[in-house]
Structure 1
């Protein structure tokens, strides 16, 4: 049956167009029940033995996905109307719902009601799209009542009006709460998963009176309607931007808006007005007399351990630290840093302040928030369903109120909670319990927390993905050997140089002398795209994951292990497929010519950086691999100097290395990672390959090449570092990468060997983040990579662990005529989504790795209180931020004295000189300046509810009463 659907739409040019589409209706669509004799059993999922089938509406699909994922909910019919609307409103929830429907162990069936002759409905005159969709779902429920007689059909909806209409039409209907309450005897946990409609009245329906409790007073202002926001933005009264919340205070943040030169400071609970980090908000500026100076205090010591937050502290603590902690640093609170980029103030030092008046786009996580319950009185734990306060592990998120029957069992657990709503009459957002993660402080539990917090996908690869992987054992085939487009390079003395224990080896190198006196240098990269075909299940999964994630004790792969550790890995002594870049160079590293080719290689050695360095340094060794390494190292020195002369930055990162117990994987030792000359050698070769390939693919595909750029930092980003250096007589000029490089080279103190590295570490944090992009999306001037001082750059050398490199390999194959470029790589909107996801996943992988370092640092120091030297990298009026070079630890130290423990107030007042970066005690007995060395104690403390935290305290320096200064 053919049906025509007509509607009007407005084009991007503003023209109104009438669109008529053919809509085919069928009557042979299966109901999906094993009870039905007419339907195809091959597609059936609904059990014959089930007494009840559940039909869900869009409301439940969108808002109760955690509820649906519980195994107690099954034999569920998902109308295609629900899937379509869910996809339109929330892609993340849609994917979870699709996975439920696809899971073989779950009984979720998608019924194509929009294509069935008996269940398709047209919109009545004056009927809204939502009302039409609700009616379509009720018609589906009625159809099932006729199709499978004898089976109870239940419409599950949290919309009170939809339930009322369903019951008037003879359909059995219930809310998720009613459904859960009816089953709490056998599945008590189901009640906890019910979406909270409002705090204070958990039985209130979403559709009832807007979900408000009329007995409570309003705490927040109502958000403006979208129509009012649009008018305000056009008139310039409102400003749109994304809210970035202070890492230690959920009621202080900044909004960057294209309509304002300065960032807008949002301070206090009322002005934040229920906005979350990442929300796109509409902001109204406060009168200038209400603008304020940003805090120069460290966050309170309680803030370092987010779970110790009291209600009073959360309401009144508006302090925050605005400096960023660098990658690889073991921090006091794993996974968090100390704020964001520097802010701009007016000439008086006051900052533009505003208030949130509307939410344009919510950023509540569909995956939920990790944390724990605030301890409550034992007698209250025995009261059945009780209201509890949940404290997220990340302090930038506010406390969340949930209702649960399991409070006693969950009190010492990390749990996952989802947010449902935040009403104007509720101090806190309301949410629901999703699941327990494990005991607080347990290594596996805390690792699971950091994985969830950073949105890392750890799900096993599907059967469809594994089906794309060649069977093991795998070897190079005769077809590969006879391929005219693949060079046989197995005779070359190729080797790999990697960290110890590396199994996913995706690059190898060689260098040999040519008959004409020149050199041939080769970089050989695993030929992942030979196995990873476009638009396959494995390719789609790799695009979603985008990167391999490296934790201290674990690797979370982008691709299945048979590929990463065997088939693609360039292991020693086996033939492997590669994508090679070969340069002919003069002995002075001048490139004569280069070639890019598919190849077959056989690595002669898989070396660690230490082993390669040992070979180079041992003058008794003259084998081909060693001589290759020596000559390549010599060339790398020349290339490195040439880049430095062009303005490339030589920065430093306080990367931490752990020695782990082979059985428990607990840390046995921790220290700064040692960088050898072989590290720099490999880096230079990879940079050369990446730059060479970037030029090649951009020339061939100027509008769709996948490149990587590093935006030039603004002068404001270096202000604090310039002040710190000026205070100790060092001049820093960041106007260009070259002037900055020269400044860093001259930033030395003869009596302080670590000073230069400290400055380089701090300079790293002043820079913007490098990002992936499509060449056609920005001007050529914006291609530049500031840190590397190169006009063009990409990632080609790690396709086993980065999806960006996979895309670059496909571009390169097309550029040299080996393959046709896949259609989706010229689709601008699709590629923008892929590139955005790559940047998001890359950032998350960095944060997860950093959090893992912090977690293992906490475990290491649990029974090892230690004293060590630290360097001051920031001074504040109430404390310092210090860096401990020996362990790579960074964190706050507060100005308190032990007199507090003896009845005194424990406060030591300090004055901060912002120009000289000096903090002086008001009594003149103490003075601290950036870059000073202090001695600190490092220990782990247990706080309220058995929460552990790493504590740094000053051991050096006395106040005038002779009491040592310590962290409170």
Structure 2
């Protein structure tokens, strides 16, 4: 039988009786962030902290639902307001993943994942071709008032649990992302001619005779950008940033275009790429492979030895790449000054280095948190976890892509005085909220760091860079960088330009990756339209597409993180019982998150599992202090842990803290001191910097 739940909807819609508890004072609309334990939070910018909703006050609302909530000004649990759902405005369209359990003529989806505490009753049709124990995806249709569980229907049969393809498809489906193309999309792609005709080339600038090359990851197949270099005169260089001309092949209103818009972006899981466009386009026609003629949309710059741009040209081109480098090969040429196209590589490296220095001089923020890569075998099994390190070759490409994106946005957005602004798609990153910065300043003060108070955005970026530089190489570096990122706004697409704070650009867009991002396709079309002297385009239609693209980008990011977490847990399955050195990466009222030093694999040490002491959580300083020992744990503190559980279904790792006897008498506390020991059954997310519980962790900006 399915799991029995301790909640039903019985009585949940009853109005509050007169003369009862004090009525809530305010009302908001927001989306439900549900936990596995059944309670939820409503994220909102209206108040400084999320609003806590007990399970009994959800009224059948589920994760992702848009709801109306009334809440009290009185805070509970220290700093949290408590509310109650009064209306489900719109059900989430996100599916739930689980294992099908058939009992007689009834069936349930036994849900998994961090945001669904209820199983779903479903009806099975003969056409479903599903068996007991299969992993499936289901949508919730209704939740009758007197029912213990919601009612739904199956939308996909994914396969047997544990199979690699099943699990990766489950992650994609959970976030509403497709894992295959409709046959009609594939057919339309296959009908596109392979040949480049004389008519295609007729009005294009010819770069086939100019030295051109690509630099991409070793395993990349979609090469959507290339660089060219030509010396115009001593100290005067022509640098071409050549981008695959995707919109030459994908025309507005076609099935291909509608599919690309719907997907919004390619998705990069640990073991695969789920492309925005079918393989014929992404890996063949539009991929700038060496020794093949390719159609491009290019940004060409005349630059001096100081990387100052004197002339700009934008338009359609044809190129023929001379060489395909991976980042390691390009880095070797930069370091040894030997290899193919060495002169071109070194000159572009010099120019890029100066562009980078100038960008940071103007206030760009240097976030450089290490990125981990899970290596897998041919069957998708994880074999190793390594750190990806950005070097000069990565920055070379990055700086010229940033230059092209900035200059395209400046061309359209940097209107002359008195001229009417043209509708355009910008990539914006707004200035940080002052309250979040003050909270961040308070957070770092408890770690022994300071930031000079300032309301000047550029001075603030300088202060953040100085802070990150000071923390570099120290145990708390990662936590400080994560919290700094969380104090920032999230970058997004918009037709309203607010500049890009993190990059210190007044104008910025995405022009350089149309194979994998739909906004870049929009930018290509708009740029071509305006270069042809076209009038300003309809703002609202593009704003709607911007919002959709931002949402799809966030879903793709969440899916990518989920696949990494899944593979990290899978990697640790045969390491249960092993002991590792680590650092505390997050602290909550119910435990501490610890990252293993070498692999950055994170797990939870639950306070209820620490038998040596009871701990009080200080939300202001994000620390835990032992009642008996006085031992204080803060972010970045080095500890030893033992892996005690690897739950692949929940993508969770549980660690045990290896207690050091020297901690027993560090700073004994008075026996009457107030303390709290929160177990997992009643845990709550705390504060804007809490790492959150299983299912309440905030994503990076």
Could you say whether these structures have the same fold, taking a TM-score greater than 0.5 normalized by the shorter chain as the test? yes
The higher-RCO structure (CA 8 Å, 6+ apart) is: 2
> TM range, normalised to the smaller chain?
0.7 to 0.9
Q: Is the 8 A contact 1:548 1:556 kept in 2?
A: yes
Q: Residues 817-832 of structure 1: matches in 2 within 5 Å?
A: 817=532, 826-832=537-543
Report deviation, 1:262.
Answer: 4.8
Number of positions where the alignment pairs a residue of Structure 1 with one of Structure 2: 645
User: For 2:391 and 2:521, how far apart are their aligned partners in 1?
Assistant: 29
1:430/1:808 Cα in 2 relative to 1: closer, same or farther (>3 Å)? Answer: same
Give 1:653's aligned residue: 369
**Deviation above 6 Å: which 4+ runs of structure 1?**
959-962
2:115 aligned with 1:292: no
Q: Return the alpha-carbon distance in structure 2 between the equivalents of residues 707 and 848 of structure 1.
A: 24
C-alpha contact 1:649 1:738 (8 A) present in aligned 2: no
Distance 1:357 1:800 in 2: 44
2:35–2:117 contact (8 Å) kept in structure 1: no
Does residue 630 of the first structure (1) align with residue 346 of the second (2)? yes
Q: Report the equivalent of 1:931.
A: 636
Contact 2:27–2:68 under 8 Å retained in 1:
yes
Question: Does the aligned pair in 2 maintain the 1:658–1:669 contact within 8 Å?
Answer: yes
CA contact (8 A) 1:640 1:684 kept: yes
1:834: which partner in 2?
A: 545
Secondary structure of the structure 2 residue equivalent to 1:514: strand
1:283-682 matches, cutoff 5 A: 283-286=69-72, 288=73, 291-293=75-77, 349-365=78-94, 368-372=95-99, 384-386=104-106, 388=108, 390-402=109-121, 412-433=133-154, 436-463=157-184, 466-469=187-190, 474-481=194-201, 483=202, 485-621=203-339, 625-661=341-377, 663-682=378-397
Q: Report whether the alignment pairs 1:268 with 2:60.
A: no
- Equivalent residue in structure 2 for 1:254, among 35, 42, 48: 42
SS in 2 for 1:256: coil
* d(CA) in 2 for partners of 1:913, 1:806: 48
Per the alignment, do residues 879 and 785 of structure 1 end up closer, same or farther by CA in structure 2, a change over 3 Å counting? same
Query: Structure 1 residues 405 and 715, CA, compared in 2 at 3 Å: closer, same or farther?
Result: same
Change in Cα spacing, 1:628 to 1:761, as seen in structure 2 (3 Å) is: farther
8 Å Cα contact 1:466-1:560 kept in structure 2: no
Q: What CA deviation, in whole Å up to 9, does each residue of 1:416-463 have, x standing for no partner?
A: 232222233334323345554233333222212101111112232433
User: CA–CA distance in 2 between the matches of 1:263 and 1:870?
Assistant: 30
Corresponding residue for residue 13 of structure 2: 221
How far the C-alpha of 1:916 sits from its partner, in A, is 4.0
Larger mean Cα displacement after TM superposition, 437-446 or 712-721:
712-721
Describe the superposition over 1:181-214 as per-residue Cα deviations: whole angstroms up to 9, x where unpaired. Answer: xxxxxxxxxxxxxxxxxx99xxxxxxxxxxxxxx
Map of 2:691 onto structure 1:
none
Pair 1:475–1:888, CA change in 2 (3 A): farther
CA distance in 1, matches of 2:655, 2:175: 26
Summarize the Cα distance change of 1:279–1:741 in structure 2 as closer, same or farther, 3 Å threshold: same
Aligned counterparts of 2:322 and 2:547: Cα–Cα separation in 1: 39
Task: Report if the CA contact (8 A) 2:405-2:510 is conserved.
Answer: yes
CA separation in 2, counterparts of 1:442 and 1:518?
A: 57
In structure 2, C-alpha distance between the alignment counterparts of 1:747 and 1:237, rounded to whole Å: 41
TM-score w.r.t. structure 2 length? 0.84
> How far apart, CA to CA, are the structure 2 residues paired with 1:420 and 1:871?
44
CA contact (8 A) 2:270 2:564 kept: yes
The question of whether the paired residues in 1 share the 8 Å contact of 2:70 and 2:83 is answered with yes
How far, CA to CA, are the matches of 1:746 and 1:464 in structure 2?
50
TM-score (norm 1): 0.62
Whether contact under 8 Å (1:870, 1:884) holds in the other structure is yes
CA deviation digits over 1:400-422, x for unaligned, max 9? 3415689xx96644232322222
Shift of 1:673: 1.1
CA offsets per residue over residues 292-342 of structure 1, 9 Å max, x none?
13xxxxxxxxxxxxxxxxxxxxxxxxxxxxxxxxxxxxxxxxxxxxxxxxx
Distance 1:665 1:243, change over 3 A: closer
Contact preservation (8 Å) 2:425, 2:542: no
Deviation of 1:834 (Å): 2.1
Contact map agreement 1:441 1:948 (CA 8 A) in 2: no
Distance in 2 of aligned mates of 1:577 and 1:435: 39
Paired residues of 1:385 and 1:403 also in contact (CA < 8 A) = no
Gaps of at least 5 residues in structure 2 are: 17-23, 666-678, 681-701
Shift in Å at residue 371 of structure 1?
A: 1.8
| 1:278 and 2:64 are equivalent in the alignment | yes
1:872 matches 2:584 = yes
Indicate the structure (1 or 2) with the bigger Cα radius of gyration.
1
The separation in 2 between residues aligned to 1:887 and 1:218, in whole angstroms, is: 47
- Secondary structure of the residue aligned to 1:852 is helix
Matched, 1:893 2:633: no
Q: Deviations over 1:469-497 (max 9, x none)?
A: 5557x34333334x1x3111112111111
Q: Indicate how the Cα distance of structure 1 residues 755 and 283 shifts in structure 2: closer, same or farther if over 3 A, else same.
A: closer
Q: RMSD between aligned alpha carbons?
A: 3.3
CA contact (8 A) 2:164 2:379 kept: no
TM superposition shift of 1:634:
1.3
SS in 1 for 2:218: coil
Q: CA deviation at 1:877?
A: 3.7
SS of equivalent residue, structure 1 residue 658 = strand
Q: Secondary structure at the match of 1:638?
A: helix
Are residues 432 and 751 of structure 1, via their aligned partners in 2, closer, same or farther at CA, if it must alter by over 3 Å?
A: closer
Distance 1:253 1:391, change over 3 A: farther
* Structure 1 residues without counterparts, runs of 5 or longer: 1-198, 201-215, 225-235, 294-348, 375-380, 899-905
In the alignment, the residues of structure 2 paired with residue 876 and residue 425 of structure 1 have an alpha-carbon distance, to the nearest angstrom, of 36
Cα deviation for residue 578 of structure 1 reads 1.1
Separation in structure 1 between the aligned mates of residue 30 and residue 110 of structure 2, nearest angstrom:
24
| Residues 509, 524 of structure 1: 8 Å contact kept | yes
C-alpha separation in 1, matches of 2:9 and 2:158:
36
| Cα separation, partners in 2 of 1:741 and 1:933, compared to 1, 3 Å | farther
- Deviation per CA, 1:826-855: give whole Å up to 9, x if none: 344433332222111111111111111112
Matched, 1:912 2:617: yes
Deviation at 1:675, TM superposition (A): 1.2
Contact 1:465 1:537 in 2 (8 A): no
